[in-house]
């Protein structure tokens, strides 16, 4: 089993001829993912590593089953690309593009919800189910990706793409391994929060624990704490909150766009308190995560 993707998951890449997209398309193919088409307006008829390029999404969805799309088009075209995918009936949408204003992100996510589609991101890297499917640009070159992500029992959700790989690498080294890893995005408004996604891990029999990487800013951690208190989850959760130094620097912005301490709920100290009160194990140090997971699952 796996979360969101599966062995036969087939997806497309919108913006496939961009520099970053060329890299991760090759990396995904080398990893074994099924990319059945790409879209770049005006470049229909070309090929990228054997993947046919089209001008529109519908040219692909009219003839084939498309389970998901990875959107990595320039900022100004990103919402339009998402609307095109949603209207073509695609249900799993990863938006890698950075810097989308929250008004636009909110509108896209609302439209997706009205059409039964799920958005991961924006400003994320996507999903990996180790040795099964890579959906997005998470993990870099296939050879590095295989080193950092080995199949195992821990689900990972992270607001930072880079830290997704770092944490999965530590879980892999410790022998626990990874069931599904999701880079959820670092923006103030994202399509899928921890609380939105944790029921999927709950339903995944391969997942025995979940690790959450979090940062200053936003209400996602408070929402997860609430979810944990309201549901009798079988899954132990281990969280790490980065950016604790920012508590001394209100208003300063570091890292992602969503990373700023303005309101009380933004503060790492507040997030850690809420999560601990909900029974989530909060790691003092990033290096403590694997041992905390072991303690919680009794392994």
Partner 1 sequence: MRFYEFEAKQLLEKHGIPLVQSELVKTADEAKTAASKIGGPVILKAQVIAPGLTTASVQEVADPAGAKAAAATLLGLDDGGRKPNGILVEARPTGEAVYSLSFTYDGTTKLPVIAAANMAGKIDDLGDTHPERIVRRHFSALYPFSDYIAKELAKSLVLGGNDLKRMTRIVSGLARLFLKYDLADLDITSMVKLGEGRFAVLDVEADLEIEARHRQRPMLDDLGFAKDDLRQVREPTKFELEGARIDAEDPRGIISPIAEFDGNIGLVIGAGGGSLTLTDAVRKHGGRPANYAAIGGNPSVDKARRLTKLVLSKPGVDKIAVMSNVVSNTRADLVARGVIKGITELGFEPKDKILIFRVPGAWEADAAKILQKYGVEYCDRTVSISEAARRAVEKVS
Q: Is 9 helix (H, G, I), strand (E, B) or coil?
A: coil
* Residues 12 to 51 in contact with partner 1, rule: CB under 8 A: 20, 23
Q: Is 172 helix (H, G, I), strand (E, B) or coil?
A: helix
Taking the complex as a whole, the smallest distance from the CB of residue 118 to partner 1 amounts, in Å, to: 12
**What would the x/- binding string for partner 1 be over residues 214 to 243, using CB under 8 A?**
-xx-xxx--x----------------x-xx
* Residues 147 to 206 in contact with partner 1, rule: CB under 8 A: 147-148, 158-163, 165-166, 169-170, 173, 186, 188-191, 193, 195
Taking the complex as a whole, the smallest distance from the CB of residue 241 to partner 1 amounts, in Å, to: 9
Max CA separation in the chain (angstroms): 56
Given 6, 115, 231, 256, the catalytic residue: 256
Q: In whole angstroms, what is the distance from residue 277 CA to residue 247 CA?
A: 20
Please identify, using beta-carbon distances, which residue of 66 and 157 lies nearer to partner 1.
157
Q: Is 55 helix (H, G, I), strand (E, B) or coil?
A: coil
Is residue 68 involved in binding partner 1 (CB under 8 A)? no
Please identify, using beta-carbon distances, which residue of 54 and 240 lies nearer to partner 1.
240
Six-digit token string for 146: 């295989």
Is there a cis peptide before residue 76, judged by omega within 30 degrees of 0? no
Six-digit token string for 84: 């095109």
* Residues 103 to 122 in contact with partner 1, rule: CB under 8 A: 103-107, 109-111
- Catalytic residue at 256? yes
Part of the chain binding partner 1 (CB under 8 A), chosen from 56-64, 88-96, 231-239, 244-252: 244-252
Q: In whole angstroms, what is the distance from residue 20 CA to residue 88 CA?
A: 24
Is residue 87 involved in binding partner 1 (CB under 8 A)? no
Taking the complex as a whole, the smallest distance from the CB of residue 54 to partner 1 amounts, in Å, to: 26
| Nearest residue to 121 (alpha-carbon basis) of 166, 188, 21, 29 | 188
Q: In whole angstroms, what is the distance from residue 167 CA to residue 212 CA?
A: 9
Active site (catalytic) residues: 256
């Amino acid at each position: 089993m796996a979360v969101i993707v599966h062995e036969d998951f087939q997806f497309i890449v919108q913006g496939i001829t961009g520099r970053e997209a060329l890299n991760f398309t090759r990396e995904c193919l080398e990893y074994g993912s099924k990319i059945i088409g790409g879209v770049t307006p005006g470049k229909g008829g070309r090929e990228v590593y054997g993947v046919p390029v089209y001008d529109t999404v519908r040219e692909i969805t009219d003839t084939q089953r498309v389970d998901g799309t990875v959107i990595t088009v320039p900022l100004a075209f990103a919402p339009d690309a998402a609307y095109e995918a949603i209207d073509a009936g695609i249900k799993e949408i990863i938006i890698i593009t950075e810097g989308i204003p929250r008004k636009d992100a909110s509108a896209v996510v609302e439209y997706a919800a009205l059409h039964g589609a799920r958005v991961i991101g924006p400003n994320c890297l996507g999903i990996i189910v180790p040795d099964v499917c890579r959906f997005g640009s998470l993990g870099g070159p296939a050879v590095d990706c295989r080193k950092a992500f080995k199949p195992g029992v821990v689900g990972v959700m992270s607001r930072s793409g880079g830290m997704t790989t770092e944490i999965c690498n530590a879980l892999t080294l410790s022998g626990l391994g990874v069931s599904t890893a999701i880079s959820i995005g670092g923006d103030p408004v994202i399509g899928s929060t921890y609380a939105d996604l944790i029921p999927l891990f709950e339903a995944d029999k391969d997942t025995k624990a979940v690790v959450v990487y979090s940062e200053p800013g936003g209400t996602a951690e408070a929402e997860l704490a609430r979810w944990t208190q309201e549901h009798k989850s079988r899954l132990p959760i281990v969280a790490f909150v980065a950016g604790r130094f920012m508590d001394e620097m209100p208003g300063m912005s570091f890292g992602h766009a969503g990373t700023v301490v303005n309101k009380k709920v933004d503060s790492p100290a507040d997030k850690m308190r809420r999560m601990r009160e909900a029974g989530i194990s909060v790691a003092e140090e990033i290096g403590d995560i694997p041992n905390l997971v072991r303690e919680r699952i009794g392994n």
